[in-house]
Chains A and B, each alone.
Chain A
Amino acid sequence: MIEPPTGRPSLGLGELWAYRELLYFITWRDIKVRYKQTALGASWAIIQPLLTMVVFSLFFGNLAKVPSDGVPYPLFSFVALVPWTFFANGLTQSANSVVASQQLVTKVYFPRLAIPIATVLSGAIDFVLAFVVLLGLMAAYGVAPTAHALLIVPLLLLAFVASLGVGLWLAALNVQYRDVRYAVPFLTQLWLFATPIAYPSSLLAEPWRTLYGLNPMVGVVEGYRWALLGAGSPPGRMVLMSCVAALVVLIGGILYFRRMEQTFADVI
């Protein structure tokens, strides 16, 4: 049954589930071709956060003497950069994903949500590689993970939700306004400094510190530091704040994306 759109909002998750195999294949394809025909291959997943960490350590750690909650500064920034890179790359790539799949969108029907979701999911492989390096760095500094280390898994999910939520808004906007392509690098750069990566959120006093959690990546980054390095105080309220913010963005993003996808094939 094919009818004009009713305007009734729906998340379309049931349909997405029906197409889970396609979602799997697109994710698999994105992972497979990720570093095809590059000289350094998957090393790129490590180089990016590693070099950023070196630069941060030099300028913020050594020169500006930014406090780091009693953790060696390189470790302090790298533990934040690993989930951040996952978030920022996921956001950037999903924002371009629908436009990049123009050929698919205009020729085949499937739930369009699969495209940005697969894009963010495929970034998990980079995360795993960078995480291994993080473990090595921790060993080098003689820092053992805390008893809460397993909490990084739900925290990664939070980063995924935040990345996808923002990515969906941008991907749908990008179909009609290619302005998005130019705005995204700028946005991620600003967001990087709006997130406590180069500095600790303990610089803020309560209640501002909890409110700071409205930026979903604040909860993720502080959660990682606390769970892996035991740095700072338990960020419970901040993480809760971040979860709420990320979910609101995601649900809003899905609804907006679903409304716009009706015309993707006409407008793209």
Chain B
Amino acid sequence: MTAAIRLEGLGKRYVLGRALDPHRTAREALVDAMSGAVRATASLLRRTAPTTGDDAFWALRDVSFDVPHGEALGLIGGNGAGKSTLLKLLTRITAPTAGRATIQGRVGSLLEVGTGFHPDLTGRENVFLNGAILGMRRDEVARKFDEIVAFAEVERFIDTPVKRYSSGMYLRLAFAVAAHLEPEVLLVDEVLAVGDAAFQAKCLGKMGDVTAEGRTVVFVSHNLDAIQRLCRRAVLLEGGRVVDAGRADEVVRGYLTRQLRRPSPAEWLDVSGLRRRGSGGARFAAVRFTTGEPALDGHPYPLGPLELQLEIDAAEGRSVSSLAVVIRDVGGTNLVNADIAAAEQTLRLEAGRNVVTLRIDSLYLNPGEYTVDLWVGDGGPTGLDYVESAFQLLVLDPRPAGTGPSLVVTGLVPCALRASVASGSMREGVRESSTAGSGGVDPRGAGR
């Protein structure tokens, strides 16, 4: 089977001075050009390649992989990993420095919604203009026009200049045009990161349709959940190179464990150098955590225990009334605030180093990635020390990978539950109305 997209040793090098300084003046360029010419001539004489200097870097290096026809591939990696550069090469927006890529079929790209929208033109005019820019023919746009407008839900305003649109209407129309593009190969970058939740869900649904129709899709996103839902396979980029490729859920999991500041369990993590706030009367120096569960290498799991040890340096002996470990989700929402103040406990810190042990008996967190903040205070408004995002915590799925349901869990937090069944009816002799109101058990929830 031939691949729809084949990358062979693809690379892109940027020369920092040129790529990052758009305001370089002609005089500087003249000097550079002359020194460059001298260097090039010298290297020609020595029959070697021109030296690149220290100011060149590879945004993408030696990237090779295939995407078979009809497959949806997720592209993940941190900021600056080279994801967007790769898409720009595939869409021919910029040319590669090395290697080559072969793409079979008509390519459509969605690097941004609303590209080329002109504020002074009406919605109708922009649909045609944007369609042409995205590579649709005029009759093709005309044929799908009603569908596009209906999807965007802007029928009433279609002849109004788009600068009078609300930002939501604008985005909906822009996405609607893009969503009705029908290329054989579709390249998508982060377009789902816009709009409200309902709109994002709609976009995601449309993306799902596109992949289900058997078109080849390359999808770049930081939304790992979406990647796992839409893509069967994923490629992880780091520093411009492919570091992992394979099943989407496995690559995502590998990516999560690779992220920075994710200490291994039972290993002391130095936090003394991190940015912090507070008066500084006591400071966190290091932290480690464990669950005492060998099966998951000591990683926490839903409803399991979590024990943290906190090294605190105190300037003088003092009592602290508040000491907390705050666990937030990737969106920044505080999910757990394990504070000794809630237990009305005070701790006595001696001058010098202290080790505080904090144990959470049951961790109500689903598998996923969390950020941990550390806080210590003595009742004052600013607190003694507050380290935001001290480290990342990975909560694992205790079921062996591959056999159970996927990592993607619905519901914000887990709950301890038990279900039982008895044969026959329990309602005999009981009035209908009282059953529904009593007991406190919602029958719809019992099966989950």
Contact = CB atoms under 8 A, between A and B. Distances in A.
B23 A2 contact: no
Contacts of A4: 95-100
B138 A177 contact: no
30 contacts: A2-B96, A2-B101, A3-B100, A3-B101, A4-B99, A21-B138, A25-B133, A26-B129, A32-B125, A103-B112, A104-B116, A104-B133, A107-B93, A107-B112, A108-B93, A108-B111, A109-B91, A109-B92, A109-B93, A110-B135, A176-B22, A177-B25, A177-B26, A178-B23, A179-B25, A266-B19, A266-B94, A267-B18, A267-B22, A268-B22
Given A2-B103, A107-B93, A177-B25, A25 B128 contact: yes
Contacts of B90: 2
B96 A177 contact: no
A62 interface: no
A110 B115 CA distance: 13
B359 interface: no
Interface in B92-143: 92-103, 109, 111-112, 115-116, 118, 120-121, 125, 128-129, 132-135, 137-138
Given A33-B121, A106-B93, A107-B93, A25 B22 contact: no
The residue among A3, A37, A108 with the most chain B CB atoms within 10 A of its own CB is A108
A2 B92 contact: yes
A36 B120 contact: yes
Interface string A147-184: 00000000000000000000000000000111100000
A262 B95 CA distance: 6
B22 A108 contact: no
Given A4-B95, A29-B125, A177-B26, 7 more contacts: A26-B129, A29-B121, A179-B25, A263-B95, A265-B94, A267-B18, A267-B22
A256 to B, nearest CB: 15
B57 interface: no
B154 interface: no
A140 interface: no
A210 B341 CA distance: 95
B137 A21 contact: yes
B29 A176 contact: yes
A266 B60 CA distance: 14
A5 interface: yes
A179 B115 contact: no
Given A22-B132, A110-B133, A265 B88 contact: yes
A118 to B, nearest CB: 11
A176 B25 CA distance: 8
A22 B133 CA distance: 6
Interface in B1-48: 14, 18-19, 22-26, 29
Contacts of A29: 118, 121, 125, 129
